[in-house]
Chain A
């Protein structure tokens, strides 16, 4: 198991190099100079522009630039932000933490809702509950996440129960640590609900389909024939086997979750990684974009790794196989 994890972690390295190279290529191919767009006003002389260009190492040929960046990134030094002149890494950790909090909470909510609902609609197939769940699932898949976020903001404004966007209140700095956490949770509720609802639908459909498949299997019939109670048959026999395809889904759903989070963060002004990417792409802050890109990819890959480990734990066939 440990060897498997280490092997997987090692294969992540060339992938990350590939991703950062792709990102660098995109940034270089796009028209417009980073320095030109930041120091475009008349108050900056050509001298200053030249100096800044030199300072950020943008006057070197681009393969050298990339290799320099790569060498530094390997030591977790992601360079200096062009716009804020602060180290990228600090900003990156903060934003990544925020995205992680939001994603984890929505994930817990989505899975916590989807699994029981999926089981219920499979067991009571074609009942009213099943119909309602299907309706909810199709709605969840079909509503654009950003629109749901807009509606949530409207709800916050109308009722006044929740803050309208953001992550902290204005007086956050003056609060003690207990109230800080409460304040953040208060801000977290709506974005979590939006993302959780959007993510719940697909998982629920998969759980339902997968459980319906296993309920037809011979060992379920055998368990019933042996006189096991229906609850025991479903929970102990069918659900356990039906859950494996869902663990594979876990990795995919993570990609969707991060993408959805990027939109929701932008609408609800949650200071996460997706918002950071948009901001820094617009200001052509090359090092910030590259850092955020690499971090996003790392999160996704670690999530996929986690789902593979979970799969190996839950399915002995995979554990024995390789």
Chain B
């Protein structure tokens, strides 16, 4: 940094007129260089896209039960009944044979899988009433892309609908945490004094309890017989309640240190009003840091939700979440013989990995020290 100021002539042009990039453009340029971060970003866009279109992509209703219990994934063939190659996938029926305790293909049931078929009615995004699904087999052939679970429900459909819950919980919780943390932390750091010490003591109380203990206690005390939709809301509230304290502390620290920096002092000396100082000078500094912290803490919420649901304290059936789908796989026999039941674990892994890649990349991109 010192070398650049020595070689280039000092320019006193107003910032707005200088042909330089805004900090966000600079960060984006930096981020684009990071392959892992971009891969993470693309993965996340795909995952959230699938979650939005979940009803359209899933062939069955999430709570639809069948007598095909623990059916393995339906076979997909690229040839028709005559054995000739076909681009259209075909599937066959699987039937349980009690004598050898396994599913077998039923001969002569090879049927084509059709795309954009009319099926169960649903509302896309909760508004648009539709009946069209991306794919589906004829009604008499059960077509389960990722098999069925202990109640004969389609795992693929539940995985998609579950992604709506599992993926949105992290985002909603972080939005709440973020706004509380930024406001409370900013207030504490700027006002200081008694307000600051009261807020910080409250934060310390929350942070001194191992997080998962608090989560278990809060979630475990939810009454068992409430509307599952309400549970979803409660879990978000619980996660945000546990999470805001850490962020508030960080934001407070930043606004405390930024408050004393020369450029803020200079702005004050120039008579810039307090509100403008907070908005233009203090919050941007805290905001970049906090946004990185937020991206990196979303995986924590997703993991916490899945952990709670896995223990049976989180999202309740009939609603699927990746965590409560996995709790069906708690039985060691199920893990060994019904591998398709572990798909939710793979989804959690991919999502969390993508968020971590993106968060790491964002941190590097927004860190001025690394821009050399």
Contacts and interface: CB of A to CB of B under 8 A. Distances in A.
A154 B335 contact: yes
Contact of A150 (B216, B222, B329): B329
Interface string B293-327: 00000010001001100110100000000000010
A219 interface: no
Nearest to A262: B212
Interface string B9-37: 00000000000000000000000000000
B236 interface: no
Interface string A12-41: 001100110011001100111000000000
A259 B335 contact: no
A207 interface: no
Interface in B170-225: 201-202, 204-213, 216-218, 220-223
A144 B303 contact: yes
B349 interface: yes
Interface stretch (B79-87, B279-287, B351-359): B351-359
Nearest to A14: B201
A140 to B, nearest CB: 10
A139 B201 CA distance: 35
A289 interface: yes
B155 to A, nearest CB: 16
A147 interface: yes
Interface string B269-280: 000000000000
B208 A262 contact: no
B349 A26 contact: no
A293 B215 CA distance: 11
A262 B332 CA distance: 20
A164 B220 CA distance: 26
B201 A262 contact: no
Given A142-B352, A147-B326, A164-B332, A281 B220 contact: yes
A207 to B, nearest CB: 15
Contact of B213 (A146, A282, A284, A293): A293
A144 B210 contact: no
A203 interface: no
Contacts, number: 130
Contact of B352 (A32, A141, A259): A141
Interface residues on B, range: 35 or more
Interface string B208-247: 1111110011101111000000000000000000000000
Interface string A140-184: 011111110010011001100000100000000000000000000
A227 B216 CA distance: 57
A18 B205 contact: yes
B280 to A, nearest CB: 30
Interface stretch (A43-51, A236-244, A296-304): A296-304
Q: Which 6 A-B pairs have the closest CB atoms?
A: A281-B220, A259-B212, A30-B221, A258-B210, A18-B205, A142-B352
Interface of B: 201-202, 204-213, 216-218, 220-223, 299, 303, 306-307, 310-311, 313, 326, 329-330, 332, 335-336, 345, 348-349, 352-353, 356-357
Interface of A: 14-15, 18-19, 22-23, 26-27, 30-32, 138-139, 141-147, 150, 153-154, 157-158, 164, 255-256, 258-260, 262-263, 266-267, 273-274, 277-278, 281-282, 284, 289, 292-293, 296-297, 299-301
25 contacts: A23-B217, A32-B221, A138-B356, A141-B352, A141-B356, A143-B345, A146-B326, A150-B332, A255-B211, A258-B210, A258-B212, A258-B213, A259-B210, A259-B211, A262-B213, A262-B216, A274-B210, A274-B212, A278-B216, A278-B220, A281-B220, A296-B210, A297-B208, A297-B209, A300-B208
Given A26-B217, A293-B217, 13 more contacts: A15-B204, A18-B204, A142-B349, A146-B306, A147-B345, A147-B348, A150-B330, A154-B332, A154-B335, A278-B311, A293-B209, A293-B213, A297-B208
